[in-house]
Every structure is written in C-alpha cells, then in structure tokens.
Structure 1
Amino acid sequence: MLAAVTHSPEQARAALELLSDLRLRTAPHTSAARMLNTELRQTFRVKRPADALALFPIALGQRPGDALVTQALLEWSLALGLHAAINLADLKATRQALGELVTHLPACEGRAGAVFAWSRRARDVTEAMAALVGRSPVMDELRTQTWRAVFTDDVRKALALRAPHRLSVLITGEPGTGKEIVARTIAAGRGPLDPEGEEPGPYVAINIASLTPALASSDLFGHVRGAFTGSTQDRRGLFHAASGGVLFLDEIGDASAEVQVRLLRTLQEGTVRPVGSDEERRVEVRVLAATNRDL
C-alpha cells in the first residue's frame, strides 16, 4: 500500500507521475489495469487535486498483473467531504465503514466495478453538499442526513431509510435562495448505496414557467400520435425521462389547473396517462418541487 498526500500543485504533479509509473508496471491486458487508467483520469477531470487534501493509495492485486484501485478513489471522495462541511465524526465513521468494505472485497478484477460505483456515488454526494453554503441548524441537518442516508453501515438503518427516500418533497423559499441546490442535494442522497446494485437513476429538472401552457401536459406526461395537431409520433414525456430517478419541478406554483390535476393523480397512484391515451403507465419517479409562493 502506497500513499501520497498533496498540498500544492507541485506535489500533485509528483503524485500523478508516481501513479503513472505504477500504471506502467501493471499488465496492460487486464481489465483492472484499464479501469485504473480510465477512472483515475476521469476523477482528475472533475476536481483539481491541488485544491484539496488528496490521498492516493494504490493496492496491488494478489495475482501478477492485477491492479485494483480500492482506497485510491474512496479516500479521494472522502477527502472532498472536507469541503462539504461534514461533521468530523461522521466523516471518520464513513471512512471506517468504506475501509471495511474494501478490506472484505477480494483483490481481483471482477469486483473493481463495485468499488468505482461506490466512489462515484461518494463524489456526487460530496459535490452536491459542497454547493450548500448556508449555515443554519436546518442546513447542517440536511448535510448530515444526506450523508448518513447514503453511507450508513447499519443494514437496519439502511432498510428504514429506503422508504422516506421515495417521498415527494416541496421546497419553499424566496427567489435566489438556492432551492434547486437543495433539491440536487436531496437527490444525491436518495437512499442507501448498494455497491452491487444499479447506478442511481437520472436527475431531470424543468422550470414549469418555461413550459408552453398548451403543451405542458404533453411535456410532462407525454402524448400519443394524433393526440393533437402536429403530434406525428408518440412522446414519452419528462416523467418517463426521469424513470428510476428524480424529477425536479421548479416554480410549481405556476402550474395550470390541468397540470395540477394530472400531477396529483401521478403522485397518488404512481402512474401517468399520456395526452390522447386511454392507458395509464406506471412510473418510478421521486418528485421534488420548489416554489416561492405560499401554496
């Protein structure tokens, strides 16, 4: 195990050179080596290592030619948490939990994808929370609950947290107070991470005020061919585009009465009926909405 800590651009470059040297020592034909090259480059495109405390431990596999990045990206993601004002105790507990995961993962190519999936999720969450600059008990609680909801190491807590992460949420506040930033943070923490499971679904955002009133229902719920003049083909709509993920409806207070009725039906039944269709289609979407009005 080798670790390099960077505090300056010079040290960052030295660490990258060291990692490049390690990559050259791995067998280029192994999938783990290819993943090492690809994932590390992608990570550095997202964040500049000179701006944070970046740890780069590299674990070599048990067999010749195996290079499995385990702690490297996990520690990198956790280091980003320092910028997200995460409680130090939570950060230590999370780091320990992720470290235990790595310890139990066999050092082989087949499990590398699970480690990278965990790391990408950690990076997404920390980046979302880093945008929360507000300081208040409510904002601090949002940070803490988001982090714990994703990275809890208690199976019972994880199961208990799954249900609330399907609930719809209405975010209220004056214009310019960061309602969508809060929505992105909530979306990033949508349920405990299963490193062996599927990637989180998409995050789709739309400002209701930007929709043409006559076509708002079609944009949201879709339509079938021939539903109205000019509808030459079926359209799935934004609810289907966000399937398995989160749909953020900004300025929900501007929704027309027709859209409100359709939206209420979707929230209650979990189905959408495209314009012009007689059939309802089930959708698995969590709805987040925001408004500056007193609804």
Structure 2
Amino acid sequence: MSIAQLKIHSQSYAIKHEITKQLCEKLNLAIVQAPLIVPADSGLQDTLSGHERPVSLEVRAEQQRYEVVHSLAKWKRAILAKYHAQPGEGVITHMLALRPDEEVLSARHSVQVDQWDWEQVLAPEMRTLMTLRKTVELIYTAIKSAAKVTGHWSESYADKVFFIHSEELREMFPKLSAKQREKEITRMHKAVFIIGIGGELSDGQKHDDRAADYDDWTSLNEDGRYGLNGDLLVWHDGLDDALELSSMGIRVTPEVMVKQLELKGGLPSLDLPWHRQLVAGEFPATIGGGIGQSRVAMWLLQQEHIQHVQAPAA
C-alpha cells in the first residue's frame, strides 16, 4: 500500500466526521459512546438473522459472561428510555462490532463492522410508512450534504431515493433472486430503499431475514403492504453492483414483537430482561438503524474493497 492509498483513510475519516455532524443536525441526535460488549442473556444483543454466533468473554471481576456486540439495536432503545428522551430526540453512536460468522468475506464484508447506530423516539401515532420514508430521505440528504462539503459528491449519484416494496420488486423481477432484484432496481435508480424485509412474500420466500425483536416487518402499512422497515442501497460503479448502506426501521411494539417471535420460533426470548421490559411498556416507540461507515466511504470514494477505507492491514 502506498502513501497515496493511505491518504484514502484520511479522506474517509473526514467524510465520516462530516456525516456524523449532518446526521445529528437533521435527526436531532446526541452523540453517545457505544459499548463494545453487553451482558449475555440480557436480551441486548442483536441476534441478526438468528444464526450468527457472537464472540463471548468472561469478565473475571464480575464472574459474568459478556458478548461483543453485533449491533446496538436494542441497547439504544433502553438508553432512550433511561434518559427519558422525548419524541423527536435521539442518539447516535460510532459502533464497532465483530461478526466472525460471516459465511464469506468479500470486498464489502469484513469481520469488523463499523457503523453509525442511531435511534430516535417517536410519538406512537408516528409509527407510519410516511415517517419511515421521511427519515430515509433525511439520512440520504445528510450523506449527500456531507459528500458535497468534503468534495466527494458526483453528479452521477441519485439526487433522491427511489422507494419500492419487496413484494413489488418480486413482481417486477419474478424470475430473479432477491440479490439479483436488488442489483437491477439499483442499477435503474442509483439509490433505492426496499421496504418490508423479514416477512414472507407471496411466493413463500423472504427477501431477506430479520431478527424478530427490533424492526417491525409484519404490520400493515398505509400502502396496504406489510412492513415498516427496509434497506437503503446505492449503485457502485466499481463493483458493478448494488451496495447496501443501511438497514433500518420502525421498531416493534410489544404485540408485534410477540407475533414476530412466534413466527420465528423465538418465544423463549420473552424471558430475557430486555424483552420483559418492552412487554411491560418501559420503552418508548422508536425508529432506528445502522449505517455502514466503511460502506458509505467505499461508495463516496469509489473504492472497490472495504479494506481500503477500514484499518489498513500491516
């Protein structure tokens, strides 16, 4: 790696710094430090699709087992409750996580995950598709504004996000796999948000898997389709493919969580402390998600491997 390549890391840092500032301003978020580990069996761990094994360790002084986080989807909601955040207020963290169970490491997948993990309190009546769409637009605007400030915005990028439900996408490309559909729709529109990820589509397949206890992927929305969550993707010329930047959504109510846990055979999770608190009504309604920092830098700096914008290999 040359010094010129190392300078890419400086540019990446500048982009991440400016995006953090823009996200805080546009979503009214306060920066908090992210934990690296959470207590095992607390319910705070993000189980992702349910198959990934977390890195665990024993803290000798406490005789307590902890797990390195996958993400902070549930921790953030607990923090907002603890500090009595009001509708429209939220938090953002610079999260580092380990996901050693990735089946394949590639140009866009690494064991180390760095993302903006953010969460915002909603008034209960704001748990709507309109809220989801507006929040996605604010996030994309924040990224675009930061890219322009740092001189990394290209006129070839989409000015706005195109929204489509995963069922509509299946109907458009019925013979393609989910990833192939993502590629085709993102090639067409450059920036796409796919709504409704986690539940079965009309062909009995899922667009992708989602945990049962944070995003709401079963509620009927204003468009008459199911799901209040989704993924934000952009077109990356160098990869000749869609690149997922964010997974996010309106969070589950107690009733929705129980329904989704039942669908996934996860009802025993209701005995965990975090889940008991949610069922007891101790957490506010929220919207939140993760935005991949290195993925965004890859896109804006047009790098073709995530290692080029993460910690350089020695």
Q: Do they superpose with TM above 0.5?
A: no
Tell me the TM-score normalised to structure 2 length. 0.26
The TM-score normalised by the length of structure 1 is: 0.28
- Larger helix proportion of the pair: 1
Q: Say which structure is richer in strand.
A: 2
Q: Which has the higher contact order (CA 8 A, sep 6+)?
A: 2
Larger of the two Rg values belongs to structure: 1
